[in-house]
Amino acid sequence: MEYRIERDTLGEIEVEASRLWGAQTERSRRNFNIGRGTEVMPEEIIKAFAILKLASARANRRLRPDKMTEEKLSYIEDAAEKIKLGELSEEFPLVVFQTGSGTQTNMNVNEVICGYANRKAGKRLLHPNDDINMSQSSNDTFPTAMHIAALTSINSKLIPAVRGLIDTLKRLERENEGVIKCGRTHLQDATPISFSQEISGWRASLEYDLEAIIGASGALSRLALGGTAVGTGLNAPRGFDRLACEEISRECGLEFITDENKFHALTSKSELASVHGTLKALACDLMKIANDVRWLASGPRLGLGEIFIPENEPGSSIMPGKVNPTQCEALTMVALQVMANDVAVGFSAASGNFELNVYMPVCIYNFLQSVRLLSDAIISFDENCVKGIKPNREKMKENLEKSLMLVTSLSPHIGYESAAEVAKLAHRDGLTLKEAALRLGVIDEARFDEIVRPETMI
């Protein structure tokens, strides 16, 4: 393998000749062999960096034309576009567990853009610090990349996934109007409910979650770029932050604005913690819905068996013919992971000191994993389970007729205590509610039939 010599302020270091990165990337690659190369910086962050480097170069071209020439800008734009498209993904090997400011990833991007551009130009046209990092610091670029990656991921992945599942539930609501079943509380029989009403509860939960996510994520549009090292904006020309934000907005198709208080933007990660809290709330509702589905589908003969779900794969290596609610299980595991990630995001947000948060890589790693897992799991659950849900009308009718809680409708007419006696007698002696009520003499048959009608109880 051939190597070349790269230099930084610490001296010389060998770098594989084919690689675009430079000395600082190589030092980090060697010094932080944590996670064995699997917990690498998320691609969403790398692409966000490409966008902000492109935007910064354009802003510098307008504000510092003597330093950011048209030639330099054109090469930076070309390299950044390649990174955005994922064509240079192998040039970003650094792991999450590095410096807490993300400095080494910032320099990784600077060096790759510089290396690509200089090779294409055939000369040392660009310097990673003086040109690619012009008017910037790792301390304002990494939090900027975090917000860009978080907001774009939510808008491009999670929101469409949730909306798709909501649409499926709306269809199921329409298809199951008038299908009456037994309600359940505390895992015990309760008064009747229509299947469409039960589904509407699932649908509304997701709609409220989506509303909360959209409302909270607006805060991610505020960017730290322009604050440089500690929030004062040292070495950044006046107006750089606003011009760069305008360029970022154009590139992303979303509105980003400069954070008016850069001291907050560099050190606080409360916006990410707040938004992730809404992701956790979504995970809670998804776990509830998935558990409802697998309870209702339990059986096929000895469980509730009130709905049919798609049979996607064999469920057992030893029990022939067994099929399990695997999509529900996958979704609930994702929900648990998101809840765990919320702890990491929360502690990360709480652990900065003075002018900088130094837990940023692990914060955004967990945040983006939550968005990615939720998006993928929701789509899988929707496509492979929810769209194929069918009511087992016969089983619903059978369970409803057996339910002792239909006696609730008698309570206003014969009193709570007499109604309880009817239910207890029916359960103890294996009678129907009507048989028990007539045996106790608390009501006549005609009146019972008039009152105990499930369709009037929903």
At position 84, the amino acid (one-letter code) is: K
Residue ranges of the chain assigned to CATH 1.20.200.10 = 150-172+182-226+260-393
> Phi/psi at 19 (nearest 5 deg)?
-80, 150
Percent of the chain with pLDDT over 90: 98
At the topology level, CATH places domain 3-134 in Fumarase C; Chain B, domain 1 (1.10.275)
Q: Among all chains, which residue has been given the structure tokens 């695997």?
A: 326
Query: Quick one: average pLDDT of 64-85?
Result: 98
Q: Which of 373, 384, 389 is nearest to 334 (CA)?
A: 373
pLDDT in tens, 252-273: 999 999 999 999 999 999 999 9
- pLDDT of residue 288 exceeding 90, the answer is yes
What would the two tokens of residue 6 be? Answer: 């790269």
- pLDDT of residue 38 exceeding 90, the answer is no
**Residue 80: its pLDDT value, please?**
98
- pLDDT of residue 352 exceeding 90, the answer is no
**Residue 88: its pLDDT value, please?**
98
Q: 138, 147, 156, 186: which is the annotated catalytic residue?
A: 186
CATH architecture group of domain 150-172+182-226+260-393: Up-down Bundle (1.20)
What would the two tokens of residue 411 be? Answer: 């309570």
- pLDDT of residue 2 exceeding 90, the answer is yes
**Residue 200: its pLDDT value, please?**
98
State the Cα–Cα distance between residues 440 and 430, nearest whole angstrom: 15
Cβ neighbours around 161 below 10 Å, total? 19
What would the two tokens of residue 446 be? Answer: 């005609």
**Residue 282: its pLDDT value, please?**
98
First to last CA, the chain: 75
Angle at 287 between CA 283 and CA 289, to 5 degrees: 115
Helix or strand holding residue 96 (H, E): none
Active site residue 186: yes
pLDDT in tens, 430-442: 999 999 999 999 9
At the topology level, CATH places domain 403-456 in Ribonucleotide Reductase Protein R1; domain 1 (1.10.40)
Residue ranges of the chain assigned to CATH 1.10.40.30 = 403-456
- pLDDT of residue 167 exceeding 90, the answer is yes
DSSP string, 28-57: HHHH---STTSSBPPHHHHHHHHHHHHHHH
Q: 316, 411, 413, 427: which is the annotated catalytic residue?
A: 316
State the Cα–Cα distance between residues 431 and 451, nearest whole angstrom: 18
Contact 266, 143 (CB under 8 A): yes
pLDDT in tens, 206-238: 999 999 999 999 999 999 999 999 999 999 999
**Residue 363: its pLDDT value, please?**
98
- pLDDT of residue 422 exceeding 90, the answer is yes
Active site residue 413: no
